[in-house]
Amino acid sequence: MNRRSFAQSVGSAAILSAIPGSSALTQDAAASKAGKVMVIAAHPGDGMFTMGAVLAKQIEHGGAGGLRSLSLGERGAPKNIPVLEYGAMQRTATENATRLLGAEALFFDYPDAEIPFNEESSLRVCDAIRERQPEIVVTHWSGSWHKDHQNCHLIVRDAIFYAALETLARSRPAHAVSKIFYAENWEDAANFVPDTYIDIEPVYEKWLQACDFYPMWRGQTGFFRYNDYYSSLSIMRGCLCGFRHAVALMSDTNQRTQRLQSL
């Protein structure tokens, strides 16, 4: 792709200050009320590093939201920390990070590396969606090498379908999620094509502070430089859309259809 066509492709993306709740996506959605968002991740670090800035921005823009992690990510423990102890550290880090952002943190109890994609897990997430009634859900993209991330994507897709199904009787009434977005994650990079850019400058420093609660962010658990990667990524994405720092999301195929009277 040459420079002109790349600029044109970015130019056709939605450039947003925050994700509006139920109104149509436009190039200028600043006046729209920020929607209530639920971010659903396989592991707490994914939730905060790849979706936390959007969560913070929605809240800062008058919306609300929370982070759901399907596991504690406990098997990412470094050699000198027992797995269970590391899981508790991950939980505490997430509680501190979400408190800083004004969001809630909730956890499912699936074992890290063994998150199942089945009816039970899909219905549990369905129930969480019906309980909290988010307008927007952000989760993993499917193009991941990590089985937990792949399963999280599939679970959330089915959960959103079940949550909206009026004839599916659960303890709470049906709830339709208006928009689904997929987060940019170094482990989910296959065929990830962003089309929505969010200005995160007003919450950038707060989001960095939230991420810093995690030992993983500080490079204490492995080789990957989470801090450098995700802070640099926000600058790179900002360059492409005219913001100082930005998060790029990929919208679900089904919500890209525009229904217009004329162009």
Binding site for Zn ion (CB under 5 A): 42-43, 46
CB of 140 to Zn ion, least distance (A): 8
Considering beta carbons, is residue 69 or 251 the nearer one to Zn ion?
69
Q: Which residue is nearest to Zn ion (CB)?
A: 43
CB of 165 to Zn ion, least distance (A): 29
Strand stretches in 92-176, DSSP E? 104-107, 136-140
Considering beta carbons, is residue 74 or 199 the nearer one to Zn ion?
74
CB of 229 to Zn ion, least distance (A): 14
How many Cα atoms are found within 13 Å in the side-chain-facing hemisphere of 154? 15
Strand stretches in the chain, DSSP E? 14-16, 37-41, 65-69, 104-107, 136-140, 179-183, 196-199, 246-251
| Token duo for residue 17 | 């200050």
Which has the closest alpha carbon to 206: 103, 78, 128? 103
Considering beta carbons, is residue 48 or 198 the nearer one to Zn ion?
48
Considering beta carbons, is residue 42 or 53 the nearer one to Zn ion?
42
Considering beta carbons, is residue 6 or 145 the nearer one to Zn ion?
145
CB of 187 to Zn ion, least distance (A): 6
Which has the closest alpha carbon to 19: 158, 199, 229? 199
SS3 52: helix
Question: Is the separation of the CB atoms in 102 and 171 below 8 Å?
Answer: no
CB of 43 to Zn ion, least distance (A): 4
- For the chain, what is the total number of helices (H) and then of strands (E)? 7, 8
